[in-house]
Amino acid sequence: MTRQNQDHLFERMTIRGAVDSASFVPWIRRHAAKLGLRQEIRHADAGRIEVEVAGPVELIDMLEMGCSLGPIDVWVETITRTPAAGGTGGQP
């Protein structure tokens, strides 16, 4: 994890599995907003969603947990988090 501005991170979350539901990307956006995180969907297809997210580590952890459980019509196999180099940037 890359620390920025004390407790804020800027990461790319790659979600893999059967994630082709039309409801999952809006679901991710809604939950990130509820947590006060900045997010930008970078890629979305039937097997992979990449989202760049910025905010406090604890809230990004909560988003990851929520995505792993996801809505009923998706099946998340893995979630990988890596430092992100661009996109939404900085603080939420």
Domain boundaries along the sequence of the chain: 3-83
Reported confidence tier of residue 21, pLDDT bands at 50, 70, 90: confident
Beta pairing class for 48-56 and 8-18: antiparallel
Q: State the angle between helix axes of 24-34 and 57-69 in degrees (0 to 180), rounded to the nearest 10.
A: 150
Q: Which residues have a Cβ under 8 Å from the Cβ of 51 and sit 6 or more positions away?
A: 12, 13, 15, 28, 32, 39, 40, 41, 42
Q: What is the pLDDT of residues 68-88, one digit of tens each?
A: 998 889 999 999 999 987 544
Q: Flag whether pLDDT at 6 surpasses 80.
A: no
User: Which CATH code, of 3.30.300.130, 3.40.50.2300, 3.30.70.100, 1.10.40.30, is assigned to 3-83?
Assistant: 3.30.70.100
Provide the pLDDT for residue 2.
46
Q: Flag whether pLDDT at 92 surpasses 50.
A: no
Provide the pLDDT for residue 41.
95
The whole-angstrom separation of Cα 45 and Cα 80 is 16
**Mean of all residue pLDDT scores within the chain:** 87
